[in-house]
Amino acid sequence: MKLVVLGAGFSGRAILKEMAPSCRTMVGTTRSSDQFAAIEATGAQPLIFSGESVSEELRAAMAEASHLVMSIAPDPNATAGSGDPLLKAINSDIRHNFPLLKWAAYLSTVGVYGNHDGDWVDEATPCKPVSKRSVTRVKAEEAWAEACGNADIPLSILRLSGIYGPGRNAFCNLAAGKARRLVKLGQVFNRIHVADIGGAAALLANTATTGVFNVTDNLPSPPQDVVAEAARIMGVEVPPEIDFETAELSPMARSFYGENKRVANARITKAGYRFRFPDYHAGLDGLWRGEQWRG
């Protein structure tokens, strides 16, 4: 397997790390050389992709790639097309630029479902995105499906919920004095440990599976409960509850609370994936016991 991960950030590096044993070569892209060391730590070769044009080094890696993961968010301000930086750079011609490609993945978000007032959704639920960024994600999903369909390339779309893991979790927020227990009546969120993103992507890559998959935990829960659980495990005082309606929040932070739903993950488990951290209790416990929460 020769793997290219476009956008080797938090999730992209987890996928590189997970798939390293199966790969002959790996490339991970970033916009800044500041991230080179983190990418190299996974065993991958770091390359720059500005989101505008493809370098000769990256083009050579693309020509050899058997597997591709796209983990770069589309431009929500794009006035034409899907806003996807790679498809724009290669004019959506996957086959010409990836002649040996056997499978591709696009990392999306459960935000594409929009608001369902706490009801359950699954992959068959129509997308009714609320935020501008989620509207753009739907367009990008559609563009990738069309591009890979035209090239006869199996495509897995992974819709991810709120991502946490080493260095990005409620423990870190508590330690930094930034944890808040915002309370909005009836509000729940799903979450996903970054290691399960890597594991799910590896499963789908190894089976060259086509389809849309919710990669998310089993326990959609109020966000204040997660903070309280982390405080209990950490042995520190639980932060007081704060009424969402009167809380000082950025427009983007407040917009997340405009989408309330419970996201089902039956399709990825039916495909054979078994979650290492099926809920936030297991995830937080693993981070604390493994002394990995700091990153």
Condensed to tens digits (0 to 9), the pLDDT of residues 212-249 reads 999 999 999 999 999 999 999 999 999 999 999 999 98
pLDDT in tens, 181-195: 999 999 999 999 999
Is the C-alpha dihedral spanning 221, 222, 228, 230 positive or negative?
positive
The answer to whether the beta carbons of residues 69 and 105 sit under 8 Å apart is yes
Domain assignment present for 6: yes
DSSP letters, 14-51, are HHHHHHGGG-SEEEEEESSGGGHHHHHTTTPEEEE--S
Output 92-97 pairs: Cβ under 8 A, ≥24 positions apart.
92/143, 92/146, 92/147, 92/150, 93/147, 93/151, 94/147, 94/148, 94/150, 94/151, 94/153, 95/150, 95/151, 95/152, 95/153, 97/54, 97/59, 97/62, 97/63
Domain assignment present for 74: yes
Is the pLDDT at 263 greater than 90, yes or no?
Answer: yes
* pTM to 2 decimal places: 0.97
Q: How far apart are CA 179 and CA 239, in angstroms?
A: 7
Residue 89: pLDDT band with limits 50, 70, 90: very high
Is the pLDDT at 256 greater than 90, yes or no?
Answer: no
pLDDT value, residue 169? 98
* CATH code for the domain of 50: 3.40.50.720
Domain assignment present for 245: no
Is the pLDDT at 293 greater than 80, yes or no?
Answer: yes
Report the DSSP pairing between strands 103-109 and 120-121: unpaired
Residue 157: pLDDT band with limits 50, 70, 90: very high
Domain assignment present for 91: yes
- Chain mean pLDDT for the chain: 96
Domain assignment present for 291: no
Domain assignment present for 210: yes
pLDDT value, residue 82? 86
Range of the domain at 211: 2-165+192-217+263-276
Domain assignment present for 24: yes
Domain count, the chain: 1
Q: How far apart are CA 65 and CA 59, in angstroms?
A: 10
- Percent of the chain at pLDDT > 90 equals 92
Section 103-121 average pLDDT:
98
Domain assignment present for 228: no
